[in-house]
Amino acid sequence: MRCYVDEASNTHIAGRRFLLSTGKAPVAKAAPKKSPATKLLAKNRRATFDYEVVEEVEAGIELTGSEVKSVRNGDVQFADSHVVFRNNQVFLQGLNISEYRFANVLNHAPTRERRLLLHRREIDRLRGRIQAAGLTLIPLDMHLAGRWIKVSLGLCRGKKQHDKRQSIKARDADRDIRRALRDGERD
């Protein structure tokens, strides 16, 4: 296809004729990049209460078919789950994905160890940060990124008891403010 401008400042594009007031050829706009839709499947609410999140990392997770069905149904419990490094690989331990009731014989073990999918450089960097700073890697949530199930991992530092009290006070204050604003709108 050819695009050209003639003397009367008309532009021909693929056989169509457009009159331009500026005399310049039209410029095609690039389509905006679409980020994959994310849908939250399960959230570890206890993690942000017990730990201070220093950094977040997204990782893929290796699941069986019945585990995918259960996760999509939201049958995930994060209690006592944590990340372990072994043989230059990363594993998620203690994550409880309930059995899928329609899977029959092909069901999975609910608390089995699941491999996380990270690049070698990410694994080495995280291992170094954990060993140097005394941090730990905790799963924060599971979500859909496009059609893939991903796990958000938090590089965390444990909170002291007084830090937890401050978190409770801040949460209660925010709740009171929201309640006052909501009740103020009703009047």
CATH code for the domain of 106? 2.40.280.10
Better-predicted residue by pLDDT, 28 or 88: 88
Q: Residue 138 pLDDT > 90, yes or no?
A: yes
Q: 152: which strand partners?
A: 58, 141
Tell me the C-alpha distance between 94 and 66, whole Å.
18
Q: Which has the closest alpha carbon to 76: 48, 100, 106? A: 100
**Number of CB atoms found within 10 A of residue 93's CB:** 14
In a domain, residue 5? The reply is no
Q: Residue 65: which domain range?
A: 38-182
- Which residues 6+ apart lie within 8 Å of 145 measured at CB? 36, 38, 58
The DSSP symbol for 162 reads: H
The reply to whether 7 falls in a domain is no
For the ranges 2-16, 33-47, 65-79, which has the lowest average pLDDT?
2-16
Total domains in the chain come to 1
Tell me whether residue 93 is in a domain.
Answer: yes
Confidence of residue 1 (pLDDT cuts 50, 70, 90): very low
pLDDT digits (tens, 9 = 90+) for 40-59: 899 998 888 888 889 999 99
**Residue 32 falls inside a structural domain:** no
Answer whether residue 71 is part of any domain. yes
The whole-angstrom distance between residue 33's C-alpha and the CA centroid of its chain comes to 18
| Residue 137 belongs to a domain | yes
In sequence order, what are the beta bridge partners of 16?
13
| Residue 123 pLDDT | 94
pLDDT tens-digit readout, 76-133: 999 889 999 999 999 999 999 999 888 888 888 888 999 999 999 999 999 999 988 8
Does the residue 138 lie in any domain?
Answer: yes
Whether 84 and 91 have beta carbons less than 8 Å apart is answered as: yes
Q: Which of 51, 13, 31, 32 is nearest to 167 (CA)?
A: 51
Residue 28 lies in a domain: no
Q: Sorting pLDDT into bands at 50, 70 and 90, what band is 24? A: low
Predicted structure pTM score: 0.67
